[in-house]
Amino acid sequence: MPDVNTAVGPLDVYNNAPAGQTLTGSAFPCFPDYDLDWQDIMKDIDSFAVPDQVGADNTAPTRSVLAGEIYQERIISAVKQFKSWPGMLASRGHIPFIHARLYTHHLPSSMQEALGVCSLYTQRNSYNEHLVNRCISQAARRLITEHCESDNMPPTDQLASVQALCLYQIVQLFDGDITLRSQAEAAGPVLDRWLRQLKCHAKPVSDALRNATHTGSGHDAWQAWVFDECVRRTLIVGFSIEGLYSFLKNGWDASHHDFAELGFYAQRALWTAPSEYFWMAALQDHLLLPVWFRTWESDTAQAQPGDMEELGMIMMGFIKGVDYCRHWLGKDVLHKFGLTLDELGSSA
C-alpha cells in the first residue's frame, strides 16, 4: 500500500530472512501469537483492531510500515471496498481495475471462469456454501496450474490471468473461511511473481497522452489506452491486496515500496468513457491527472472531486486518510465512494 510518509523504492520484502532460511516472493509469515478468529473478523471487520505491535518472533522487514491507529480506518475501509468488487463485476461487468471495454474483442478463458465464480459467489448461502467454496478453490487452483508461466502468454491473456487471480485472492483472503484463506496464502507467491512479470509491460503515465491520436486512429489509441491503463491499475490493486492482508495479519506492510514505480490516470472522464468519441473528448476537455504515487501531492493538486473515480479515492484514502477524503469530496457525494456512516459501519 502507498505511504507518503515513508521513503519508497524497490525492495525485496524478505531480504532479512534468518540465516539458513529462504523466503521467496510474498510468502507470508505465520500469524503472531495473538488469538485471531479469521471468520469472526471478516464478518465484523468494523470492530477489528489492526495489530500495531510486532513480536520478536515476527519482526517486520526493514523499512516496512507498521499499521497502528493511523491506518486503522484506512485499512478497514479499503478491505470493505475491495470485497465488494467480485459482486460488482458480476452485476456490472466492470470494476476499478477491469475496464468495461477491455475484453470487447477477446475474452480469455481465465476471465470467463473468474466471471462465473464471481457470479456464483454472490449467490452463496448457508445451503450451498460448501459447494460454492469448492468451486472457488478449484477455479483458483486451475488458473495457477494452467497459467503457471504467465510471461509466455499473449498480453491480453497474461493480464486476464493476473486479474482473475486478484479476484480469487480478494474472495479467499477476505471472505472469512479458514480453508479459502489458507489456499490464498499458498497462492501469494504466485500472485507476486505474476505482478512483477506484468510490471515489465507497464507503460508510464504523462500529459503526452493528449497527443495519442496524432499518430493513428482514435479508436486504436483508445483501445491501446484501455489495455495499458488496466495493466497499471491491476498492478496497483495486486500490490494493495498484498499490503492490506499483511496489515490485517501481521500489523505491518512492505508492499508500499513497489508503489514508487506505479502510476495511473485518475481522471474519471477518461476511465468511464464508453467509446472512443467520449474518450477523445475527455482528452481535450478535462485534466488528464497522470498520477505517480511518488509525487501524489503535486500530481493531484489541481484535481476536483468530480475528476476522481473509485480507485483514485481509495488510494487517496490510503495516503491522506478517510476523513480527509470526506472533507475533500463533500457530504453530498460520499455515498458514491462508500464513505458514509452506514456503509463504513462503526469504524467511521
Interval 62-98: pLDDT, tens: 544 554 566 778 888 899 999 999 999 999 999 999 9
Q: What is the pLDDT of residue 257?
A: 78
Locus of grid cell 476537455 = 285
Per-residue confidence (pLDDT) for residue 168, from 0 to 100: 99
> Residues of the chain with pLDDT > 70: what percent?
75
Q: Say if residues 232 and 202 touch (Cβ distance below 8 Å).
A: yes
Residue 258: in which H helix or E strand, if any?
none
CA 232 vs. chain centroid, Å, equals 11
Please give the helix or strand (H or E) that residue 264 lies within, else none: strand 263-265
CA atoms of 282 and 270, how far apart (whole Å) = 6
pLDDT at 219: 84
pLDDT (0 to 100) of residue 31: 38
Residue from 109, 284, 153, 152 nearest 212 by CA: 284
Give the burial string for 2-34 (b: 16+ CB within 10 Å, else e). bbeeeebeebebbeeeeeeeebebbebbeebee
Could you give the C-alpha distances from 108 to 120, 142, 164, 172, in angstroms and in order? 19, 14, 10, 22
Percentage, residues of the chain above pLDDT 90: 61
Higher model confidence: residue 211 or residue 7? 211
Let me know if residue 108 belongs to a domain: yes
DSSP for 74-114 reads HHHHHHHHHHTHHHHHHHHS-BTTB-TTTTSS---HHHHHH
The 3-state DSSP class for residue 155 equals: helix
Tell me whether residue 7 is in a domain. no
| pLDDT attached to residue 41 | 54
What is the secondary structure of 173-185 as a DSSP string? Answer: HHS--HHHHHHHH
The residues, any chain, with a CB within 8 Å of residue 62's CB and separated by 6 or more, are 11, 15, 16
Nearest to 169 by CA among 120, 118, 131: 118
Summarised one tens digit per residue, pLDDT across range 284-302 is: 999 999 999 999 999 999 9
pLDDT band per the 50, 70, 90 thresholds, residue 100:
very high
Does any domain span residue 94?
yes
Identify whether 48 is part of a domain: yes
C-alpha cell, 64: 516496512
Instruction: Specify the residue for cell string 473468474.
Output: 114
- The strand pairing partners of 95, in sequence order, are 98
Range of the domain at 146: 38-347
Residue pair 192/26 in contact (Cβ under 8 Å)? The answer is yes
CA 42 to CA 33: how far, in whole Å? 19
Residue 14 lies in a domain: no
Least confident piece of the model among 22-31, 137-146, 214-223, 332-341: 22-31
Does the pLDDT at position 261 exceed 50? yes
CA 198/CA 326 separation, integer angstroms: 33
Does residue 129 have a pLDDT over 70? yes
Distance of alpha carbon 77 from alpha carbon 343, whole angstroms: 9
Indicate whether 137 pLDDT > 80: yes
Burial of 162 (0-12, 13-18, 19+ CB in 10 A): buried
Task: List, for residues 294-340, the tens digit of each pLDDT value.
Answer: 999 999 999 999 999 999 999 999 899 999 999 999 988 888 888 88
Q: How many CB atoms lie within 10 A of CB 56?
A: 5
Angle at 1 between CA 177 and CA 224, to 5 degrees: 100
More confident residue, 1 or 42: 1
User: Does 29 fall in a domain?
Assistant: no
Return d(Cα 226, Cα 231) in angstroms, integer: 9
Domain membership flag for residue 296: yes
Mean pLDDT, all residues of the chain: 82
34 pLDDT exceeds 70? no
Model pLDDT, residue 70: 67
Has residue 167 got a pLDDT over 80? yes
Cα(166)–Cα(172) distance, integer angstroms: 10
Position 11 pLDDT exceeds 90 = no
Higher local confidence (pLDDT), 6 or 203: 203
Distances (CA, A) of 277 to 36, 206, 267, 287, 288: 52, 21, 16, 17, 16
Q: How many CA atoms lie within 13 A of 108 on its CB side?
A: 20
Is the pLDDT confidence value at 56 over 90?
no
Number of domains the chain is built from: 1
The answer on pLDDT for 119 being more than 60 is yes
pTM for the model? 0.82
**Radius of gyration of the CA atoms of the chain, in A:** 20
> Are the CB atoms for 283 and 209 separated by under 8 Å?
yes
Q: What does the pLDDT read at residue 211?
A: 78
| DSSP, res 58 | G
Identify whether 31 is part of a domain.
no
